[in-house]
Structure 1
Amino acid sequence: MSDKPDQARLNKAKFRAWHRGTREADFMIGGYFDNRHAEWVEQELSWFEALLDEDDVDIMAWALGVQPPPERFTGPMMDALQRLDYVHIHK
């Protein structure tokens, strides 16, 4: 049995990541998904799904280091989000 996430869950997470309501949040959260999801296992997808339930303003504040993230979101996944090396803005 594989620990890889089910494709339907990944598709739903991708849609939610890219349809946040503002372009800035879409680029940050959607870009993070696109850049990282291929290496995720179930636990990491569950972390991301929980993150998607949070307000964009909070997620962006945590990613930019303006506010500390809640304990449940600290760790390697948040560290990767905070690097912002996945944000590519297309004109």
Structure 2
Amino acid sequence: MTAGEDIAIRRKRLRYRAWHRGTKEMDLVLGPFCDANIEEFDSATLDRLEALMDEEDPPLLKWVMRQEEPPAHVDRDFLDRVVSDHQARIEQ
């Protein structure tokens, strides 16, 4: 398997995971975000996405909805990118 095939498989796996979170609300946040952006993500950015997706849905949804501040270990810049993407979609 080449590096290109490896990253393609990783993108496909993360896209599936984004759409099958366990809660519909997070599916509708992360699924469209991945559909729109994942093909542009390099390995380091996929790492950032994967770290965010490793968080549990209830607190993640609260962070996305700006109901709570995320803890210090969360990549706030990447979370803000997801939130901005989601807000742009719901405003359309």
TM-score of the pair, normalised by structure 1: 0.78
How many residue pairs get aligned? The number is: 84
**Equivalent pairs: percent with the same residue?**
29
Map of 1:69-88 to 2, 5 A cutoff?
Answer: 69-71=70-72, 72-75=74-77, 77-83=78-84, 84=86, 85-86=88-89
Shift of 1:19: 0.4
Shift of 1:35: 1.8
RMSD after superposition: 2.1
Summarize the Cα distance change of 1:66–1:59 in structure 2 as closer, same or farther, 3 Å threshold: same
Moved over 6 A (4+): none
C-alpha distance after superposition, 1:22-69 (max 9, x if no partner): 221111111111122122111110011111111111111111111112
Higher relative contact order (CA 8 A, sep 6+): 1
More helix by proportion, 1 or 2? 2
Tell me, which stretches of 5 or more residues in structure 1 are unaligned? none
1:55 aligns with 2:56: yes
Shift of 1:70: 2.8
